[in-house]
Structure 1
Amino acid sequence: MNSKITLGVSTWLWQSPFTTQSIALFPKIKQMGFDLVEIPLENPSLIDISQVKQALKDNGLKASVCVVFGDDKDLTADDPSLYENCFEFAKTCFEHAKALEVDFVAGPLYAAVGKARLATDEQRKLEWERSVTNLRKLASIAQEYDLQIALEPLNRFESDLINTAADVMRLIGDINHNAVKVALDGFHMTIEEKNIRDAINTVGDKLIHVQVSENHRGIPGSGLTPWQDFAAGLKDVNYNGALVIESFTPEIKELAAAVNIWKKLADDQDSFAKEGLKFLKETFND
C-alpha cells in the first residue's frame, strides 16, 4: 500500500449520532487495523471533546471530521437566518476539530443535504451566488481556527448544486479563498462521473480527503467501482491524505432512511469494516 495514505473508517458504519460514548468503538477500530477514525459531528453538544481526544490518544488513532447541514442550515436558502445557523454550528464544529488537532472539516457544506429540485436557471444562479458568498465567509471563519474546509460533491439525488469534480472546482474558483479544498467520495463519483481517474485529476492538489464505499454503498471491492482507476488517479495527484470507509448501519432507522439504505449491506458492520480494509490494503498499493 502507498505508505502515505492513511486508512480510516467512519463511526457512521456503526452509530449515529456520535456521542462521548462512541469512543467505545475506538479499541475495535484500532484492533481491526485502521489508523484513523472519522467523526461525524451531527450534534456537538453530545460530545465531551476532551474525552474523545484522550481516547484517540489511548488507542493510537488519528481523527478526521465531517459535517453536513440539515434543513435548518442552508447557505443557499431564501431565509438568511439559515446562514447564521450554519455559521454558528460550524464554529462549534471547528472548535471540536481544533481540539482534535485535525487540519480541516469535510462535507457538502455548500447547501442543505437533500436539496435536489428542478430549479429554474434564475434560481440556480441565485443559489450559486449565495453559496459562493457564504462559503467565502465560512472559509474565513475556518481560517480563524487554522482550519480548511473540504467541499464534497454529492450525487444528484442528494444535491442539485454540486455533483462532480468539475462542479466543485468551478465553485472553488468563484469562492477564491485559499482555505477551500476538496473531499471526494467514491460512492457519489460512481453515480456522477464519466471517469474516476479523470475526476481525481480534475481536482488535483485541491484534494485533501477521500471517502469510499461501493457504488451500492456496500463493502469496497464488492461492486462496480473501477478501483484500479481510482488508485491510479490518487497516484497521479500524489495524494497522501486519508482513505476513509464511509457507509451506514441499517440499524439506525433515521440515518438509514436519510441515505436510502433499506437492507443490510454486509453480514454485520464489523465484517463490512474488516473486509473493506483488507480490500483497500490490497488495492491502493505501489
Structure 2
Amino acid sequence: MTGSTEIPMSLDVACHLNVLVADASPESLDRALPALADLGIHRIVLPPLDPAATDARGLRDSLERWHVSPITIAGQAPGADVSSDDPDERAAGVAALRQSLRLTAELGGDQMNGVPYGIFGSPGAPVPRRRLEEAARLVGAVADEAADLGIAMTFEVLNRYETSAVNTAAQAMRFAEESGSENLRIHLDTFHMAVEESDLAGAIRLALPRLAYLELGQSGRGALSGGAVDIPRLVTQALDDGYRGRFGVEAFSRTILAEPVADMLAIWRTPYDDGIELVRDALRVIRSGWAASTAGRREIRLARGAMV
C-alpha cells in the first residue's frame, strides 16, 4: 500500500510494544522507542508487567527520554480473580488491579487496558451470570479509583477462545452498565471482533458511548493492509459515527515474541519479520481511512487552504 505515514493531528495512535520487541527491558526499549518516535508515535501499550518486579523509575525515565507515554495492561490470575466464587480470590483480584493501577500512575500513564474481569485463556465453561455481575461491580470500583488518578480504565472484549465472559460489544455495554461506574471504558479489537461480530462497524457504533480504545488488528495478526478485516473502512466509519478516542496498532509474530508469550497467544507463524515496516504500513492504512472520513476530508481541505 502506498501513501503517507504522517499521523493526522486529530488522531491519537498508540502501538503495542510487542509489535517490535519481545519485552520492556531497557535494551528492547532502546531499539523500539527511537524508531517509533521517528514515525510520530508517542504512545505505546506495554506488555503485562509484574508491579513488584518492575523498576518503575527506570522504565519511566526510558519512556520520558523519547517523549513516549505508556498504556499498561492489567489482568487476573489463578487465586486472584474477581470472577471467582471464592471471596478471598475476588479480594486478591481487586488487589492485583490496584497494584497495576499504582504502577500505571508511577509510570506517568493515563490509560490502563487489559482483561480485569477474569482469567485470560481457554475458557472451560461460561462464567455464571451472578459471578459476572459481581466482577463488574468490583471492576467498576477500581475504574472510579483510576479516574481519581487521572487514568482511564478500559476492559478488552476478547473472542470466545480466550474468554467466555465478554465477547461482543453488546455484552461489553451490559458489563459496563452493571459496573455502576461512569468511568469504566470499553476496548474493542478488530481481531477479536472479526470472530464474534456479524457487523463490525455496527458493533463499534453500539459501543461508542463507552468506547475509549479501538485497537486495529488484522485477522492473521500481521500487516493491517492484508487480511479479512477492512480496516480503512472501519476507521472511516468509526470517525464518521463520532468516535474520537484512541486507535491502537497490534500485531504479533513468533520471531519477535518470547516463546512462552507466543504460545499463550497461539502465535504459531511469522506473519511479519520487520516490526517497523509493519507500523509504517499500519499508519498508511489508518491515514487512508481517516482521509476518507468526513473529518479527514475537512482537515485536508483546511490544510490546503492554509497553504494557499
Normalising by structure 2, what TM-score? 0.83
The reply on whether 1:284 has 2:282 as its aligned counterpart is no
In 1: Cα distance, 2:111 partner to 2:187 partner? 10
Long gaps (5+) in structure 1: none
The reply on whether 1:145 has 2:149 as its aligned counterpart is yes
1:152-189: CA deviations, max 9, x gaps?
11000001110011000011111121121111111111
- Counterpart in the other structure of 1:240: 244
The reply on whether 1:29 has 2:36 as its aligned counterpart is yes
Q: Give the SS at the match of 1:183.
A: strand
Q: Count residues in correspondence.
A: 283
Alignment check: 8 A CA contact 1:248 1:255 kept = no
Distance change >3 Å, CA 265–CA 70, structure 1 → 2? farther
- Counterpart in the other structure of 1:195: 199
In 1: Cα distance, 2:131 partner to 2:162 partner? 16
- Counterpart in the other structure of 1:113: 120
Alignment check: 8 A CA contact 1:20 1:48 kept = no
Long gaps (5+) in structure 2: 1-6, 297-308
The reply on whether 1:81 has 2:88 as its aligned counterpart is yes
Opposite residue 150 of structure 2, the aligned amino acid is D
In 1: Cα distance, 2:151 partner to 2:193 partner? 25
The reply on whether 1:227 has 2:231 as its aligned counterpart is yes
Alignment check: 8 A CA contact 1:108 1:152 kept = yes
Opposite residue 204 of structure 2, the aligned amino acid is I
Q: Give the SS at the match of 2:251.
A: coil
- Over aligned residues, Cα RMSD in angstroms? 2.2
Opposite residue 219 of structure 2, the aligned amino acid is N
In 1: Cα distance, 2:117 partner to 2:212 partner? 17
The reply on whether 1:99 has 2:106 as its aligned counterpart is yes
The reply on whether 1:255 has 2:261 as its aligned counterpart is yes
Opposite residue 133 of structure 1, the aligned amino acid is R
2:184 corresponds, among 157, 180, 186, to 180
Offset at residue 144 of structure 1 (A): 4.4
In 2: Cα distance, 1:233 partner to 1:187 partner? 17
Opposite residue 77 of structure 2, the aligned amino acid is G
In 2: Cα distance, 1:60 partner to 1:210 partner? 22
2:46 corresponds, among 14, 31, 39, to 39
Structure of larger gyration radius: 2
In 2: Cα distance, 1:100 partner to 1:202 partner? 32
1:183-238: CA deviations, max 9, x gaps?
11111111111111111110113111121120121111110112244113321343
Alignment check: 8 A CA contact 1:197 1:232 kept = no
Opposite residue 261 of structure 2, the aligned amino acid is L
In 1: Cα distance, 2:76 partner to 2:82 partner? 9
1:60 corresponds, among 67, 79, 83, to 67
In 2: Cα distance, 1:139 partner to 1:104 partner? 11
Alignment check: 8 A CA contact 2:155 2:186 kept = yes
- Counterpart in the other structure of 2:277: 271
Distance change >3 Å, CA 212–CA 284, structure 1 → 2? same
